[in-house]
Amino acid sequence: MSYYFTILSTRDTPLFSLALGTAKAGGDSTPRFPPQALQLCPYLLHASLDFVDEAQFANPAMYLKRIDAFASASISCFITPTSTRFLLLHLPHAPNTNPQAGMGEGRGFGPFVPAVPMNPASPQAEEAVRQFFGEVFEVWIKAQMSPFQDGEGKLGSPVFRERVRAAGRKYL
Amino acid sequence: MATTLPLNPGSKPLPPPQRSTPQSSKSTPQQQPQSGGLRVPSNRKTIYDRNINRTRTAELSRASFAYLFGEMVSYAQKRVTGIQDLERRLNEQGYPIGLRLTPLLLHRLSTPTAPQPRPTRILPLLQFIANPLWRHLFARPADAIESSATNPKEYMITDNEPLVNQYISVPKEMSQLNCAAFVAGVIEGVVCGVLGGQGVGLAAQLYGGENPDQPRDPPAVVSAHNAGEEGGMWPGKTVFLIKFSDDVMKRESNK
């Protein structure tokens, strides 16, 4: 399983992006995206924003769960109370191997394979992503406490990046 | 709308200064993040190492708050054209505090098993402001929440004795001024933060609304008004008037 995580501001500006790999099932936490797929990730995340906008006021929870899918990849969303969006794209594949490329929709996103460990639709995966988002939310709040950081500012702190990476290693 | 200000008003969202003794020099090298050129505090504790849940004993002193707020008012008073302008500046100083406190307080109210929902509807939102927010800022809940009898878009939160006005003497010729405009700004930050998501995004700006050229109204405008009577029980009574936009009211009636 490989992940692509992005924080988007209320005005849809990307403030932070990080590619993560699974650390579960013997994974080495290295993201394994086919090169074209990695470039496509920001587009897929932005494309899911329509669904986020729809769900934002229909569902008062912060964790909106799985909101969108593209071929084998699916996208989970967490929305902070001040409408900053955390989006996570999951690309399921067997641990420590490159995902099958060139199938289905092409560009590295193969067809949906539910047999792979950590099926993104499973309750366990949902719970893991919820915990990951919860941890990132806490770190994000701490970042917001800085008077020099506003909701539209890039989250460039290396400590922040390290904390998000650690949360990924812990839960994903 | 939210502007970064040279003064961080009230400095409430900031964690209190570290009081604990510096750590032993043995443990510090491991804690240092591996990053060139990053400046970390001398005790090697960045804001990310602090606990997000403030303890009860970490309250700020009222004297320092009164001094700081007095300075903020005089800072806002420089180069203003009138009372309205002064109140607008105080409002702008409070706005970022509301934006920052909303996620922080909701996070503190949440437990791992029962996460707090976002207060996306008007009533829970007003209750969030009148209770957890007021308790955090002033250590007591607000005195009343009312809805306007004449205008369904208007709601009022009452504070009988606002802490911010306690040490501010307003001259007679400026009797209209209410320095609680700062608190109105905090409320506006909360309301606009929670309700302002949809409609401020890029897609909504480009395609949303009947007239995409016109910027959308903010979800709410909040102002502070003097409501005390001379010789009454609460001479400093202040009403915070929250005026929601049509978009918000439409969404509220849809559910």
What is the domain-level CATH number for residue B174?
3.30.1380.20
How far does A94 lie from chain B, in Å, by closest CA?
Answer: 30
Whole-number mean pLDDT of chain B? 77
Asked if B80 contacts B86 with a C-beta cutoff of 8 angstroms, the reply is yes
Residue contact B107–A141, C-beta within 8 A:
yes
Among A54, A67, A77, A89, CA closest to B204? A54
Q: Which helix (H) or strand (E) holds B83?
A: helix B83-109
Please state, in angstroms and rounded to a whole number, the distance separating the CA atoms of residues B224 and B241.
6
Q: What is the pTM of this model?
A: 0.80
Residue contact A62–B117, C-beta within 8 A:
yes
Percent of chain B whose pLDDT exceeds 90: 22
User: Residue B219: what residue type?
Assistant: P
Please state, in angstroms and rounded to a whole number, the distance separating the CA atoms of residues B121 and B119.
6
Give the structural domain span for B81.
Answer: 61-254
Predicted-assembly ipTM surpassing the 0.90 threshold? no
How far does A53 lie from chain B, in Å, by closest CA?
Answer: 6
Asked if B60 contacts B12 with a C-beta cutoff of 8 angstroms, the reply is yes
In a domain, B191, yes or no: yes
Contact list, B102 vs chain A (CB under 8 Å): 81-82
Please state, in angstroms and rounded to a whole number, the distance separating the CA atoms of residues A55 and A52.
5
Length of chain A: 172
Contact list, B196 vs chain A (CB under 8 Å): 10, 83
Which residue from A49, A63, A145 is facing B14, i.e. has the nearest CB? A145
Please state, in angstroms and rounded to a whole number, the distance separating the CA atoms of residues A147 and B149.
39
Q: Within 13 A of A10's CA, how many CA atoms are on the CB side?
A: 19
Q: Distances in Å between the alpha carbon of B109 and those of A113, B53, B128, B215, B235?
A: 39, 10, 10, 34, 34
Least confident of A102-106, B83-87, B221-225, B239-243: A102-106
The contacts of residue A56 (CB under 8 Å, 6+ apart) are: A64, A79, A83, B120, B197, B198
CATH number of the domain at A66, please. 3.30.450.70
With CA atoms as reference, the chain A residue closest to B47 would be: A142
Please state, in angstroms and rounded to a whole number, the distance separating the CA atoms of residues B225 and B238.
6
Give the structural domain span for A151.
Answer: 2-171
In a domain, B248, yes or no: yes
Residue contact B194–A53, C-beta within 8 A:
no
With CA atoms as reference, the chain B residue closest to A163 would be: B48
Least confident of A19-28, A49-58, B166-175: A19-28
**pLDDT at position B192:** 86
pLDDT, tens digit, for every residue of B67-120? 999 999 999 888 888 888 898 889 888 888 888 899 999 998 888 778 888 898
Q: Within 13 A of A98's CA, how many CA atoms are on the CB side?
A: 9
Contact list, A80 vs chain B (CB under 8 Å): 103
In a domain, B184, yes or no: yes
Which residue from B118, B200, B204 is facing A60, i.e. has the nearest CB? B118
Q: Which helix (H) or strand (E) holds B170?
A: none
Helix, strand or coil, per DSSP, at residue B223: strand
Which residue from A12, A50, A145 is facing B15, i.e. has the nearest CB? A145
Asked if B35 contacts A159 with a C-beta cutoff of 8 angstroms, the reply is yes
With CA atoms as reference, the chain B residue closest to A47 would be: B203
Asked if B130 contacts B151 with a C-beta cutoff of 8 angstroms, the reply is no
Backbone angles phi, psi at A119, to 5 degrees: -55, 125
Which residue from B46, B52, B103 is facing A81, i.e. has the nearest CB? B103
In a domain, B21, yes or no: no
Between B211 and A83, residue with greater pLDDT:
A83
Residue contact A147–B8, C-beta within 8 A:
yes
Contact list, B188 vs chain A (CB under 8 Å): none
Residue contact B251–A80, C-beta within 8 A:
no
In a domain, B208, yes or no: yes
Q: How many domains does chain B have?
A: 1
**pLDDT at position B20:** 44
How far does B230 lie from chain A, in Å, by closest CA?
Answer: 39
Contact list, B205 vs chain A (CB under 8 Å): 11
Q: How many domains does chain A have?
A: 1
In a domain, B130, yes or no: yes
Q: Which helix (H) or strand (E) holds B47?
A: none
Q: How confident is the model at residue B203 (pLDDT cuts 50, 70, 90)?
A: very low
Contact list, A79 vs chain B (CB under 8 Å): 118, 197
Give the number of other CB atoms < 10 A from CB of residue B172. 5
Q: Distances in Å between the alpha carbon of B176 and those of B22, B78, B80, B185?
A: 49, 18, 15, 17
